[in-house]
Amino acid sequence: MKMKLWEKGQKINEQVFDFTVGDDFILDLHLVKYDCIASIAHARMLNKINILTNEDVNKLIDGLNEIIELNEKGSFEIKKEQEDCHTAIENYLTDKLGELGKKIHTARSRNDQVLTALRLFYRDQGKEIISLMDNLTDSISAFVKKTGDVKIPGYTHMQKAMPSSIKLWGNAFVDSMEDNKSLLVAVLDILDQSPLGTAAGYGVPLEIDREFTARELGFSRVQENPIYAQNSRGKFESSLLHILNQIMFDLNKIATDLILFSMPEFGFFQLPVEFCTGSSIMPQKKNPDVLELLRAKYHVVSACEFQLKNLMSNLISGYNRDMQLSKEPVIKACAITRESLEIGAALFDHLFVNREKCEAAMTEELYATEKVYALVKQGIPFRDAYQQIASKM
């Protein structure tokens, strides 16, 4: 069995090892591609500063591209004894290239390795989520275009209040998603700085070219302060998860509205049959399981944000092993947000509006405020007009 990247020859307590590794070797399968991409940029930089020859860097890049291909096929394995993707990748290169594989870790630490891989992962996740938000708003807009003219009651305090419409209701979520998108773009701009080369949090005693690797990886700038690079872990993720939480908050409200207003007692909306399930005992049931789970998943993402923020508090400056546990809530929240946006768009593509039920719900009291202002237009003081209409209700 190969040595760990940090191993110095002492005997390892397997119980302690299992405890410290946890599920990290499984979670890191999400990061293999990004760690390889960062390693390619790093190898090119080492070539630029004459640590690696042209032949060396070409062999390393070929090996790293092989790993990316294997990972995409689901064939690249991270064994528990390897702990993480960084060790698994270096072991693969060493098996393939011998002593050359051992050179890839020159001028870096696993601390800046994982930071860089995570930044690249977050960047891709953010772009995908923005695209999925666009798909959702397109689906809502198409739904509004077909049914937006239908009047429905507007509610305050869960009581009928004033006239509303499908257009007003649907476009509220379009506008909110646009704000969510603006916030996510702002967070991605904060994430757009390269930590590669900060090593363990205090730099390296070599003249490396961090601007070069930043450009190679598509970052707009270098994260200059190496201590801040480590301190930003958890801080940047917290900003990302807060926006994901806002997206899920909107999906929660959509789900809650549709569950209520698709009930037979309201009947404004009819859910697609394929989005409902039945009962094992009651043959008449069509349960809104998809919406119920969509509603619940907001709370799961909210818990991920809470978990992350608590994990990252009370730590001194620099890297702490607590940070390892920040991967899971972020990866989980990203996955839930993606699948929730996808199912939300599919739902609006098939959602039906019952015009007759909506029309029947537009009862007289909804127009009370309009009647008040009709009197105001006649010169009657608002308070008197209000009291006059209220006395007739």
Write out the catalytic residue numbers. 157, 279
Length of the chain: 393
Tokens found for residue 193: 């700085």
Q: How far apart are CA 137 and CA 131, in angstroms?
A: 10
Nearest to 362 by CA among 149, 188, 125: 149
What are the backbone angles phi and psi of residue 270, rounded to the nearest 5°? -120, 120
DSSP per-residue codes, 31-43:
THHHHHHHHHHHH
Give yes or no for a contact between 267 and 149, defined as CB atoms under 8 angstroms apart: no
DSSP per-residue codes, 147-200:
HTT-EEEEEETTEEEEEEEHHHHHHHHHHHHHHHHHHHHHHHHHH-SB-TT-TT
Q: How far apart are CA 215 and CA 123, in angstroms?
A: 15
Q: What is the DSSP letter of 387?
A: H
- How far, CA to CA in Å, does 337 sit from each of 129, 244, 250, 304, 341? 8, 7, 11, 12, 6
B/e letters for 279-311, b = 16+ CB within 10 Å, e = fewer, are: eeeeeeeeebebbeebbebbeebbebbebbbeb
**Hunting for tokens 């989005």 — which residue is that?**
275
Q: Name the amino acid, one letter, at 112.
A: D
